[in-house]
């Protein structure tokens, strides 16, 4: 019998079919791995970019099993908040995780092994600007993190004469202004989606 052999159990196994199954299985595994990796890469930029607390944000700071140490606090213009036992804490410019660790470190002097939780209950500090050829240009106070496409939607979308493939996000990073290109036309079609970044406080979207 051509292309076949007798297995140890006495059954005939077709070598060609057996090889095809192996190749097909390998391709499936490679495809799953590649898809999973790309999905993780696309999401990594957003997950690795935590929200930074800012002035006027409202936080809830609580110590587990201690109702007297649960407070809603407003971040002052200088970035600080006040909390019982530990006084003033610098919150502005830091993430929630950082603030939790800082409060826990300070409060451990009074309550060893305290379980501290910090939540941002209302974002009031984040402002972005959309200028140029959009339906409603101007300043937008944002109550949550949004990406570029969401911001453009808030501004009413692009006007008919806008150049969708030549949009720029202006951002200050370490006191230097950087330009981040954004191609609306391609992102809208599901291409170059990595350009649809989370916006930061003070970002300016320029639509030409």
At 145, phi and psi to the nearest 5?
Answer: -70, 135
- What pLDDT was estimated at residue 36? 39
Question: What is the CB-side half-sphere exposure of residue 55 using CA atoms within 13 A?
Answer: 5
pLDDT tens, residue order, the chain (208 aa): 444 444 444 434 455 555 555 544 544 444 433 333 333 333 433 444 578 899 899 999 999 989 999 999 999 999 999 999 999 999 999 999 999 999 999 999 999 999 999 999 988 888 999 999 999 999 998 877 899 999 999 999 999 999 999 999 999 988 899 999 999 999 999 999 999 999 998 999 999 9
> Is 23 within 8 Å of 15 (Cβ atoms)?
no
- What pLDDT was estimated at residue 35? 37
How far apart, in whole angstroms, are the C-alpha atoms of residue 123 and residue 96? 12
> Is 14 within 8 Å of 4 (Cβ atoms)?
yes
At 88, phi and psi to the nearest 5?
Answer: -85, 140
Answer yes or no: pTM beyond 0.85: no
At 71, phi and psi to the nearest 5?
Answer: -140, 145
- What pLDDT was estimated at residue 38? 35
Please, which residues have CB within 8 angstroms of residue 19's CB and are 6 or more apart in sequence?
Answer: none
* Structural tokens at position 32: 């799953």
- DSSP bridge pairs for 6: 12
Calculate Rg over the CA atoms of the chain: 27
> Is 107 within 8 Å of 119 (Cβ atoms)?
no
* Structural tokens at position 79: 């970035």
For 40-153, strand residue ranges (E) read 58-63, 66-74, 80-83, 87-90, 116-122, 126-132, 138-142
């Amino acid at each position: 019998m051509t292309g076949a052999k007798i297995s140890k159990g006495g059954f005939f196994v077709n070598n060609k079919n057996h090889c095809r199954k192996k190749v097909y299985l390998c391709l499936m595994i490679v495809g799953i791995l590649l898809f999973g990796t790309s999905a993780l890469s696309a999401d990594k930029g957003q997950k690795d970019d935590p929200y930074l607390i800012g002035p006027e944000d409202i936080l809830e700071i609580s110590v587990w099993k201690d109702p007297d140490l649960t407070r809603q606090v407003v971040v002052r213009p200088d970035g600080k908040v006040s909390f019982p036992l530990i006084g003033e804490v610098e919150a502005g410019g830091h993430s929630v995780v950082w603030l939790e660790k800082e409060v826990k470190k300070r409060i451990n002097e009074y309550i060893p092994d305290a379980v501290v939780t910090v939540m941002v209950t209302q974002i009031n500090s984040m402002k972005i600007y959309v200028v140029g050829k959009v339906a409603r240009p101007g300043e937008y106070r944002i109550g949550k993190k949004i990406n570029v496409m969401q911001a453009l939607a808030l501004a009413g979308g692009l006007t008919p004469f806008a150049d969708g493939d030549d949009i720029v996000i202006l951002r200050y990073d370490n006191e230097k202004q950087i330009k981040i290109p954004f191609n609306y036309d391609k992102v809208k079609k599901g291409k170059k989606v990595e350009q649809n970044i989370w916006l930061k406080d003070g970002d300016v979207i320029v639509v030409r």
